[in-house]
Chains A and B, each alone.
Chain A
Amino acid sequence: MDTEALIRSLSTDVKPVPRHAVGRRVALGLGLGAVGTVVLIGWWLGFRPDFGTAMRGYSFWMKWIYTSMLAGAAIVATVQLARPEPSSLRWLRILVVPMLLLAAIGAVEMMRVPSRDWLAMWLGSSWKLCPIIVLILAAPIFIGLLWSFRRLAPTRLRAAGAVAGLAAGACAAALYCFHCPEVSALFVLTWYTLGIALASAMGALLGPRVLRW
């Protein structure tokens, strides 16, 4: 095909592009994926029966706010890497802020219980499962983001995969709060974060293969 014919055929299909199209596209993929994750939780794990009471307790909000802060930063980074121009991700270092806040809460909690209970508090009743569950719940959201990227233009595929995995993991963890009965800050800081990090690592691993265009 010669180039002029190509240009003619491309120019027959010029739909207007709304402003903030990248953000919308990412939000749509994320939203569709989140629906998948919620369905998966409902079908596989079930929502916690004491959901109404739990929402009034502080530990639910602690978990939810922590994971939402991670998710917010990761989503901004995903939108940033969906554009082709070179850009810096150094600002992502602010991710340590929610971690430090949670660590501070964890320290306060430790002071309030006798030291023989620390291990139980840290391991909870589901530490072996929690990271794996977060990783599995991240899959639908990650797939949703892959769909978003089909019209976007990431040029650093490994980094884009990593931040998309981070966003998927953190959103999945935020939704997992609706099932998970664990209450301690140290538990969340360790096992939730580990699950989110696994999702991010998986994204970095898959990125160069699945994000090519």
Chain B
Amino acid sequence: MRADEDQLRRWMISGLAGHAGDHAALLAALVPLLQAFYRRRMRNAVEDVEDLVQETLIAVHSRRATYDPDRPFGVWLFAIARYKMIDHFRRRRQSCPIEDVEELLVAESFEGASIARMDVDRLLDTLPAKQAAAIRDTRLDGLSVTEAAAQARIGESDVKVSIHRGLKALAARVRGEP
């Protein structure tokens, strides 16, 4: 079974408080996540994946003070993982074709996506119910505006306005504005 965002975050916070056992559990749980993350993105250099996983574990350990317990864990983790990968390419002076760059930026492993999905759920919970429902229906569940309006029994323009306002509020929150 793979640990979810909440579990990872609990281990992380407990590790920050000095509990070595939870810290070890966290690092162990990160190994499959990071392996999937790097394997997906480095198909030309699979032999480097293990090195990168270890480097990232060391960074997660030695720079754990930069994790803010009030923020999502997954975003912090993958920001470090992504940095380590870019640094790795830079060190190798490796250039990668532009199509691959696009894939690097777009591709999200299953784990990454599911952690992101949990982060999104948490963010949506901070919005008014109507805006959250409108965004969830149209942007996550793939309904059309008409279908979402019918489901919520409100007007289509109401749905559109809710989506717009909700996304704006979310964007502000992700950027760290109040």
Contact = CB atoms under 8 A, between A and B. Distances in A.
Nearest to B176: A87
B63 A1 contact: no
A155 B83 contact: yes
Contacts of A7: 24, 27-28, 31, 57
B50 A3 contact: yes
Contacts, number: 93
Interface in B13-41: 15-21, 23-24, 27-28, 31
Interface string A81-93: 0111111101100
Interface in B139-173: none
Contacts of B61: 10
Given A14-B18, A87-B175, A212-B87, A155 B82 contact: yes
Given A10-B58, A11-B23, A85 B79 contact: yes
B31 A17 contact: no
Given A7-B27, A7-B57, A88-B176, A83 B82 contact: no
B59 interface: yes
Interface stretch (B2-10, B64-72, B99-107): B64-72
A21 interface: yes
B24 A85 contact: no
Given A10-B27, A10-B57, A152 B66 contact: yes
A16 B177 CA distance: 29
Nearest to A84: B79
A152 B65 contact: yes
A77 to B, nearest CB: 12
B127 interface: no
Interface residues of B, number: 37
B65 A14 contact: no
B123 interface: no
B80 interface: yes
Nearest to B75: A85
B62 interface: yes
Given A14-B20, A25-B65, A151-B65, A6 B59 contact: no
Contacts of B110: none
B54 interface: yes
Contact of B66 (A8, A84, A87): A84
A200 to B, nearest CB: 22
A21 B65 contact: yes
B115 to A, nearest CB: 13
A181 to B, nearest CB: 41
Given A10-B61, A16-B16, 20 more contacts: A6-B54, A6-B58, A7-B28, A10-B58, A11-B20, A11-B23, A15-B18, A17-B16, A22-B65, A22-B68, A80-B176, A85-B71, A86-B79, A88-B175, A151-B65, A152-B63, A153-B79, A153-B80, A153-B83, A155-B79
Interface of A: 1, 3-4, 6-8, 10-12, 14-17, 19, 21-22, 25, 80, 82-88, 90-91, 151-153, 155, 212-213
Interface of B: 15-21, 23-24, 27-28, 31, 50, 53-54, 57-59, 61-66, 68-69, 71, 75-76, 79-80, 82-83, 87, 175-177
